[in-house]
Amino acid sequence: MYKNTNHPFVTWAACLLWLISMFALTWSLLIFFCIGDMLLMTGTDLVNAFTLLSGLLMFPTNVFILYSIATGRTIDHKAKVLCCPLWLSIFWIIIINIIGVILCIRTMNSCHDIILKNIYSGIKYYRTVPKYKHVVDNLQWSLKCCGLKSYKDWFDLEWHDKIRDYEWDSVNKRDVHGRKVSSKSETDSVPFSCCKSGSCISNYLKELGTYSINTAGCGDFMYRIVMISMNAHLILFLSIIIIEALLLKFICINTNKAYSGVCCGNKRVSVRHLMPVNDDFDASSGSYMYCQEEGDGGETYTKFDNDN
């Protein structure tokens, strides 16, 4: 059974950081593959990328630390982790998370305008760009919302599929000369993704009512979600910075203690452990008297007094 020569904080910090790295990797990859388009729409793609990068660097670093602790070795800050010293790996983790903090603050200051602009663009090009249609439909289904500020945002936009939606022809009739008949609004219908259930009344809403669709806009919902997400990322980045800095400090302290050995300062150090001493020996001369004294720090040292 080995004796752990590392500070207890090093052990607990390494375990916590390893768990954080696993969470960062899993969460960032899950978001990227499931709602990657939403990241671009909300301007949070860079924050997610730095979360993934931070997890990638923390994982091997903390696995190395935990393995050293498990094998009973004192962790050296100059030890190699993959291709660089341990202290340099921790330094880069701290730098990446500092950049993550900056990105979080910048995103929180500008995300409202970015979200409104991108959602409006998605609604505007809903019919002509399939990518926007897919993103907007997923957004409205998942958040149970409709439009940017309300369901009425769809009324003034040409979002219909001309083949599928028969009401499109009724509001785009042309006279005998081929001129388009003007209308105050294009239509009073919304996409099926605004429905509260799988099917609903999404056409002629002014006459039939809106009881079967979601009427709240998606802009405010998405903004609140992004702000919660950015605050969570900000706390995560700051926690990693603090824990990594303290971890590096305690590792350096342990390394210095391991290499310093016995500290020799102004205090007298006992040397009785270096070689055996016979306390009952006969002095060759009576002019010398053997005695032991105890120092200020509790150390025992030997001196010889001359009677003459």
290-308 per-position pLDDT tens digit: 455 555 555 554 554 555 4
More confident residue, 251 or 181: 251
Distance CA 181, CA 212 (A): 30
Instruction: Reply yes or no on whether the pLDDT at 3 is more than 60.
Output: no
pLDDT tens-place string over residues 107-126: 999 989 999 999 999 998 99
Taking the model in full, what pTM does it have?
Answer: 0.72
Count the neighbouring beta carbons within 10 Å of the beta carbon of residue 41.
23
CB 196 within 8 A of CB 225: no
pLDDT, average across residues 39-59: 92
Q: Are 126 and 136 in contact (CB under 8 A)?
A: yes
Among all chains, which residue has been given the structure tokens 């936009």?
Answer: 157
**What are the strands, taking DSSP E only, across the chain?**
80-81, 84-85, 288-294, 300-306
Whole-number pLDDT of residue 197: 80
In this prediction, residue 302 carries a pLDDT of: 52
Weakest mean pLDDT among 123-137, 140-154, 166-180, 213-227: 166-180
> What pLDDT score does 62 carry?
93
pLDDT at residue 40 in the model: 84
**The pLDDT of residue 200:** 83
